[in-house]
A and B are shown apart, each in its own frame.
Chain A
């Protein structure tokens, strides 16, 4: 299974922000959409970074008024990106090993969506449940 299957039933979950916006705006958006990260794009809608809750927390510890900083100053610039063909198993492994929770999925420079570790876990859970269910059906058929 590849990550495009996660994006297929989540077309509206991509929330973007510009680097020049304030962290205050970013927090409002995180709260409004109940999400953990914003994709940061430039005027051409190309990916320039990602702003996660963790980025904000890290900076809030050392800066008195984080609210007035620009998103571009706080975001992670060196973003690991995925492609629609990336497989769930590999994505889960990479996100776990490299300890990040949001993976923007891109096609060229265009951002198609974002996959969170929660999405990955849910997809894995459903895949395993499905396999168990199918195996159980076959075991039952053997018993009949």
Chain B
């Protein structure tokens, strides 16, 4: 038999996860000269594109346009999409080892960091990630309940997810109705009782993770006035120094904008959005029914670590903030996959620059790789996953050259298809997705929206003419 990676004997790769990293991994593989490669990309959802569909805010369509690039990758010969196929349930690691030379896990960070303070288990405290998945129509989260009758809502964290959540809560019906937000979320948010939204940051404005365009957007909301507190906008000496020595122009502009919000006066808009800095929740409290009613916040001061990062330290000053609904947004976290070594310290697959490592021997496991957030943890923008995926693909190519890859007993594309058809007859091909996409976009055109999403797997299947399988009794 000829060498693996040739036209006669193509390299067969399984990519688990059809988010941005999965597509960048495929792109880097297809770009290799002198490599014949066949890629099967699996996803637990019928729809591809991961967080671009289910995470990026619905009013940020320009960011979502990156899917045009992914679609072009999917149209390359040798690419197949197997949606609605769950790793660990419909297919196992052994199945993949039996059909592919190399397997790449790009499953992202599907959980979030818990806020371990008294009262955090009260009803009304949710992960922001679940709210995001809910308003974006993720089938697994569409039935989540959020009490939007509350007038006061707080979002803990100052990353872009936190600011997305705060903005979505503050948008008017008309603003939301122009987006591809899930229909049920559009209705719920349009009828919400939310009047005051707080964003809570434990450090100062210079250290806030959200980006300048996002801060600017807050000042342009139709129905919400935005505020910061003058006393929290006065930079301490360390922050001032940091701004001068290390920060870029974007950060300087961001701080300027945030300072300008301290001068804002109420203009009579129905909602108020306030960004708070240098405070951390230390306790949540509720009523007799176990429902959240507010939080105790501690005021922080900044100190510099040895290496120069400004960190918060609690003072002895406290305040109380009323809020009936709180979203925590203090970081995503990876979820372990069955049979794959997991590094609990960092919440990632145990890996060395993309090669999955056996923690007992510290040696790479042949044929198994990882890329994206499940490799390095959640950081950066969508495009950051492109160089990350490249690093992994380079390791895959080195190993291929060295002859270190799996030797599947069924290395034929037809065999893999047969396996998928047996395990999950209701799988979605990329053609199925394109059909669904077309219908969603057409439904959107009628309402002058980018698309109207299907939000259950059953609906998706019916839309593309697949019969939902009878549940096995």
Question: Which residues of A are in contact with B by a Cβ distance under 8 Å?
Answer: 1-2, 4-13, 80-83, 85-87, 89-91, 93-95, 103, 112, 125-127, 129-134, 137-138, 140-142, 144
Contact = CB atoms under 8 A, between A and B. Distances in A.
A11 B311 contact: no
A14 B458 CA distance: 50
Contact of B383 (A86, A131, A144): A131
A86 B305 contact: yes
A130 B380 contact: yes
Contacts of B345: 112
Contact of B386 (A12, A80, A86, A133): A133
Contact of B343 (A8, A126, A142): A8
B308 A93 contact: yes
A12 B364 CA distance: 11
Interface residues of B, number: 42
A118 B94 CA distance: 37
Given A89-B246, A131-B383, A132-B383, A12 B357 contact: yes
Contacts of A127: 380, 384
Interface majority SS (helix, strand, loop, mixed), chain A: helix
A141 B352 contact: no
B307 A82 contact: yes
A137 B69 CA distance: 9
A131 B307 contact: no
Interface in B363-407: 375-377, 379-388
Interface stretch (B58-66, B214-222, B256-264, B461-469): B58-66
B208 to A, nearest CB: 12
B348 interface: yes
B334 to A, nearest CB: 9
Given A8-B348, A8-B376, A11-B352, A82 B305 contact: yes
B65 A93 contact: no
Contacts of A95: 307
Contact of B307 (A12, A103, A142, A144): A103
19 contacts: A4-B346, A11-B350, A11-B357, A80-B306, A81-B307, A83-B309, A85-B305, A86-B305, A86-B307, A90-B308, A91-B309, A94-B306, A94-B307, A95-B307, A130-B381, A130-B385, A133-B383, A134-B63, A137-B65
B239 interface: no
Nearest to B375: A9
A86 B307 CA distance: 7
Nearest to A105: B307
Contacts of A7: 346
B408 to A, nearest CB: 26
B212 to A, nearest CB: 13
B376 A87 contact: no
Contact of A86 (B309, B348, B388): B309
Closest 8 CB pairs of A and B: A130-B384, A133-B383, A141-B65, A134-B383, A130-B383, A8-B346, A126-B387, A90-B308
Given A4-B377, A8-B376, A141-B62, A134 B382 contact: yes
A142 B346 CA distance: 37
Given A4-B346, A85-B309, A138-B65, A9 B383 contact: no
B324 interface: no
B191 interface: no
Which of A81, A86, A132, A133 gathers most chain B CB within 10 Å? A133
A82 B306 contact: yes
Given A86-B307, A93-B308, A137 B66 contact: yes
A87 B203 CA distance: 13
A137 B311 contact: no
Contact of A8 (B246, B305, B375): B375
A93 B245 CA distance: 8
Given A8-B348, A90-B242, 12 more contacts: A1-B380, A4-B346, A9-B375, A11-B350, A12-B362, A86-B309, A87-B309, A130-B386, A130-B387, A134-B382, A134-B384, A138-B63
A83 B309 CA distance: 9
B330 to A, nearest CB: 12
A9 B62 contact: no
Contacts of B311: 85
Interface in B284-321: 305-311
B379 A12 contact: no
Nearest to B341: A11
B375 A91 contact: no
A94 B246 CA distance: 10
A74 to B, nearest CB: 22
A90 B307 contact: yes
A103 to B, nearest CB: 6
A8 B371 CA distance: 12
B387 A129 contact: yes
A112 B343 CA distance: 13
B353 A5 contact: no
B354 interface: yes
B343 to A, nearest CB: 6
Contacts of B68: 141, 144
B343 A12 contact: no
